[in-house]
């Protein structure tokens, strides 16, 4: 009995130790900013650097890429996942620009040379600043915008869509909420209790009534594919689903692959023209 109790206490101590580490270091486990950043002209000829002013006083740098193909008169706001910087999304921007879209590549606070440190509310403020730029200086009516959210960025833009509806919403590899992903990867920890940043998607997307598309990889090892399907099932508006067979979370097919780009073009076609 004593040995069983000792073992139980040891297991409890390990769990508490891991839980304490997760509480103190969790944002380092969530956000992986990349500070390298080449000039936009080296990566996206024709693109330009623009400044997004957040409500809490940060000046964020982003890239705006005009259409290089026949102009559709539509803008795409790209909100990235939790890693890298806007240079990593340049291949996607090139393909979307060639398809006739103007593209704004957002980098959050703390990413791509931007000031500040990332957290959930901060990232939402950054997306609001991007929306103000697109509907202000860039001159796009809200119904001519498409929000493109990649993984964690899907949560950010779903939140934005509940406040400022766009013409359409595309979520690439979305999770139901961040705690659900955490439980998948850390099953022994009380993730939902410990987590500071929640990033819900399946709940708020029920209030998003615009045309929506969900794209996910069937071999996703980061976000379980069933979570992306659950997000699609919870959407409040008409939804289309594109499953990329055999694709993992960070595969090229889900960065700028044909099925992904086609899904966005088809979403644009579902949006009633002016």
Is 177 within the bounds of a domain?
A: yes
> Domain range holding 263?
40-270
Q: What is the pLDDT of residues 3-52, one digit of tens each?
A: 554 554 444 444 444 555 554 566 667 898 887 787 898 899 999 999 99
Long-range CB contacts for residues 125-128, cutoff 8 Å, separation at least 24: 125/54, 125/55, 125/56, 125/58, 126/52, 126/54, 126/58, 126/60, 126/156, 127/77, 127/79, 127/156, 127/157, 127/159, 127/160, 128/54, 128/55, 128/160, 128/163, 128/164
Is 1 within the bounds of a domain?
A: no
Is 19 within the bounds of a domain?
A: no
If we measure between CA atoms, which residue out of 178, 181, 193 comes closest to residue 18?
Answer: 193
Is 51 within the bounds of a domain?
A: yes
Kind of pairing between the strands at 59-65 and 102-105: antiparallel
If we measure between CA atoms, which residue out of 141, 139, 169 comes closest to residue 154?
Answer: 169
Is 10 within the bounds of a domain?
A: no
Q: With H, G, I as helix, E, B as strand and everything else as coil, classify residue 88.
A: helix
Q: Show the beta-strand stretches assigned E in the chain.
A: 32-33, 48-53, 59-65, 75-79, 83-84, 102-105, 145-150, 168-172, 211-217, 239-244
Task: Find the mean pLDDT for residues 206-215.
Answer: 98
Is 54 within the bounds of a domain?
A: yes
- DSSP structural state of residue 136: T
Residue with tokens 């920890």: 189
CATH code, domain carrying 108 = 3.40.50.1820
Q: What is the pLDDT of residues 228-240, one digit of tens each?
A: 999 999 999 999 9
Is 31 within the bounds of a domain?
A: no
If we measure between CA atoms, which residue out of 164, 154, 150 comes closest to residue 256?
Answer: 150
- Would you state the pLDDT for residue 2? 46
Number of domains in the chain: 1
Is 30 within the bounds of a domain?
A: no
Q: Say if pTM beats, i.e. exceeds, 0.85.
A: yes
If we measure between CA atoms, which residue out of 137, 172, 167, 138 comes closest to residue 155?
Answer: 172
């Amino acid at each position: 009995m004593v040995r069983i109790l000792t073992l139980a206490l040891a297991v409890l101590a390990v769990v508490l130790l891991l839980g304490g580490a997760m509480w103190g270091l969790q944002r380092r486990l969530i956000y992986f900013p990349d500070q390298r950043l080449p000039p936009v002209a080296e990566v996206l000829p024709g693109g330009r650097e623009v400044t997004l002013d957040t409500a809490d006083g940060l000046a964020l740098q982003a890239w705006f890429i005009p259409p290089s193909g026949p102009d559709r008169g539509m803008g795409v706001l790209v909100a990235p996942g939790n890693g890298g910087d806007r240079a990593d999304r340049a291949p996607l921007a090139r393909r979307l620009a060639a398809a006739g879209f103007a593209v704004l590549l957002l980098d959050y606070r703390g990413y791509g040379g931007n000031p500040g440190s990332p957290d959930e509310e901060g990232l939402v403020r950054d997306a609001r600043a991007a929306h103000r730029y697109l509907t202000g200086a860039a001159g796009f009516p809200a119904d001519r915008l498409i929000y493109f959210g990649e993984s964690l960025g899907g949560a950010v833009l779903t939140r934005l869509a509940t406040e400022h509806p766009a013409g359409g919403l595309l979520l690439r590899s979305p999770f139901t909420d961040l705690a659900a992903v955490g439980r998948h990867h850390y099953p022994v920890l009380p993730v939902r209790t410990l987590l500071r940043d929640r990033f819900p998607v399946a709940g708020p997307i029920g209030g998003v009534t615009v045309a929506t598309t969900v794209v996910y990889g069937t071999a996703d090892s980061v976000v379980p594919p069933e979570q992306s399907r659950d997000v699609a099932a919870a959407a409040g508006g008409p939804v289309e689903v594109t499953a990329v067979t055999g694709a993992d979370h960070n595969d090229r097919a889900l960065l700028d692959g044909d099925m992904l780009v086609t899904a966005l073009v088809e979403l644009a076609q579902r949006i009633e023209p002016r």
